[in-house]
A = this chain, B = another copy of it.
Amino acid sequence: MNPSNENELTLAVLERLEGATDPRFAQIMASLIKHLHAFLRDVDLKPDEWMNGIQFLTAVGQACTDKRQEFILLSDTLGASMMVVMLDQARALAQGRTGAKATEATEATVQGPYYWEGAPEQPLGANIAEGVAGEPTFYSGRITDTSGKPLQGALLDIWSGDGEGNYDMQIEGAEMAARARIRTDEQGRYWYWSIQPSYYPVPVDGPVGRMLGGMGRHPNRPGHIHMMVSAPGHVPVTTHLFVANSPYIDSDAVFGVRPSLIVDYEKHPAGKAPDGRVMDQPYWSAHYDFCLAPRQA
């Protein structure tokens, strides 16, 4: 079919998917084509605006290196990554659902670019941020299933930036810091020491930074500590805990904050901490209970 108007053009492009052998690919491309065409028509995109878009996307692609993924940053800052996370968790919980409580599983958020596989296993109570800049914080809580049953030996794979907003990975040749894998005790409890992470900006020296500027947006993420939480037979979750009183807590540049993941950091004077450690300086504590949905057999 040769299209003589805008509606026929969209139909003609869709029609050309008839030869696709992978039905899922055809489904994805059909939806993409419909939304792309609808977007162009909704805004009545002009040729110079289209060319700006072409040049922007080209610059995003060319800013990508083996150390930088500007398209993921674009996806993050447009909320697309977080949407994929939400959809993925909903799908996983629907598949793993064994009862009405499955929706109470700990909510997921974006993984971000700073995960480093193979963090050291540490015992309960360890300070996983020895020598890392930042105010000491005692982290504790429990990991249970959605019926409230404690999960012994559940794994917390933890990582964060430091108290000044820098990740180990951002420093050329740096060793792992503020990262550990910790397992719960027989009562599903975990506790460890780290620092209170600071807010920090996403990279703004590329095209996505210029886009944020045009939108009048700041590039910052509020302070947060990442964890992947898993236990055999349960749906794992990749999430963060967010520092409640952090700047930008209501305007995360990548839309990763969910109300259920915001944690109050409580300040304490120097002295004996809950785990018996004697602190010679003030410290913080943060308490959070994780909840994993059983996986369907």
List residues of chain A with CB under 8 Å of any chain B CB: 1-6, 9-10, 12-13, 16-22, 24-29, 31-33, 35-47, 49-50, 54, 57-62, 64, 69, 71-72, 75, 78-88, 91, 107, 214-217, 249-252, 255, 257-260, 262
A43 to chain B, nearest CB (A): 5
CA distance A80 to B71 in the complex (A): 20
Contacts of A19 in B (CB 8 A): 215-217
Q: A58-B71, A215-B19 are in contact. Are A41 and B6 (CB under 8 A)?
A: no
A44 to chain B, nearest CB (A): 6
Known: A2-B257, A35-B38. 6 other contacts (CB 8 A): A4-B260, A13-B79, A28-B43, A29-B215, A36-B80, A50-B80
Contacts of A28 in B (CB 8 A): 43, 45, 49
Count of chain copies: 2
Q: A64-B62, A214-B20 are in contact. Are A87 and B44 (CB under 8 A)?
A: yes
CA distance A48 to B145 in the complex (A): 27
Contact of A39 (CB < 8 Å), options: B3, B6, B16, B35: B35
A10 to chain B, nearest CB (A): 7
Contact of A16 (CB < 8 Å), options: B5, B24, B215: B215
In the complex, 6 of the A-B residue pairs with CB atoms within 8 angstroms, ordered by the A residue number, are: A19-B215, A28-B49, A33-B78, A45-B87, A50-B75, A54-B75
Q: A39-B32, A87-B40 are in contact. Are A20 and B259 (CB under 8 A)?
A: no
A296 to chain B, nearest CB (A): 18
CA distance A33 to B255 in the complex (A): 13
CA distance A44 to B107 in the complex (A): 18
Query: Are B35 and A35 in touch, CB under 8 angstroms?
Result: yes
Contacts of A16 in B (CB 8 A): 215, 217, 251
